[in-house]
Amino acid sequence: MSPVELHDSAGATQPADMAVSDRPAPRVLLVDDEEDTRMLTEAILSRRGYEVRLADSGRTALAMLAEDYDAVLLDVMMPEMSGLEVLSRIRETPRLARLPVILLTARQRDRDLIEGYRDGADYYITKPCTAEQIEYGLRLVLGDGGASRRTPG
């Protein structure tokens, strides 16, 4: 079984456009080395009206961030380049310095949280997590309803 168990109890009966109504869909970059987590989270967020793009590594994520996103969901525990390292690179890039970043961390990893906030994380979610926790975090960092923060151009 995947270490991440996403439960989507409340989302199953909601219409697809409930999360964002008539606003443009918030664009979220989901970075996780585990395919199961990517697929589950993408399914949940897509159903709730988010536009989701996937990266399976920190390096891929940094390349994809040449495009504009409204928020990043960033796994901490990844091979080669950890989520914390990706976060540091994001914050070092002036265009991305204020991009909302939510860390996805394993429980029993308090050190990650302290380092994550020090490195500029906006919020964190501990795995295993629910669909509701992810959406709550996104709404929090995006502002109510998920209005786009993307800078024009």
Applying CB under 5 A, the residues found at the interface with Mg ion are 33, 75, 77-78
The answer to whether the beta carbons of residues 79 and 108 sit under 8 Å apart is no
Contact assessment for residue 99 and residue 68, using Cβ atoms and an 8 Å cutoff = no
Tokens at residue 119, please?
A: 């490195």
Tokens 């390349």 belong to which residue?
A: 63
Minimum distance, C-beta of residue 98 to Mg ion, in the bound complex (Å):
25
Q: How far is the CB of 97 from Mg ion (least distance, A)?
A: 25
* Pick 30 or 65: Cβ nearer Mg ion: 30
Half-sphere exposure of 10 (CA within 13 A, CB side): 11
The tokens of 134 are what?
A: 């992810």
Under DSSP, the state recorded for 53 is: E
Residue nearest to Mg ion (CB): 77
Q: Which is nearer to Mg ion, 49 or 58 (CB)?
A: 58
| C-beta closer to Mg ion: residue 89 or 139 | 89
When the beta carbons of 48 and 127 are compared against Mg ion, the nearer one is 127
Q: How far is the CB of 75 from Mg ion (least distance, A)?
A: 4
103 pairs with which residues across the strands?
A: 74, 124
Q: How far is the CB of 33 from Mg ion (least distance, A)?
A: 4
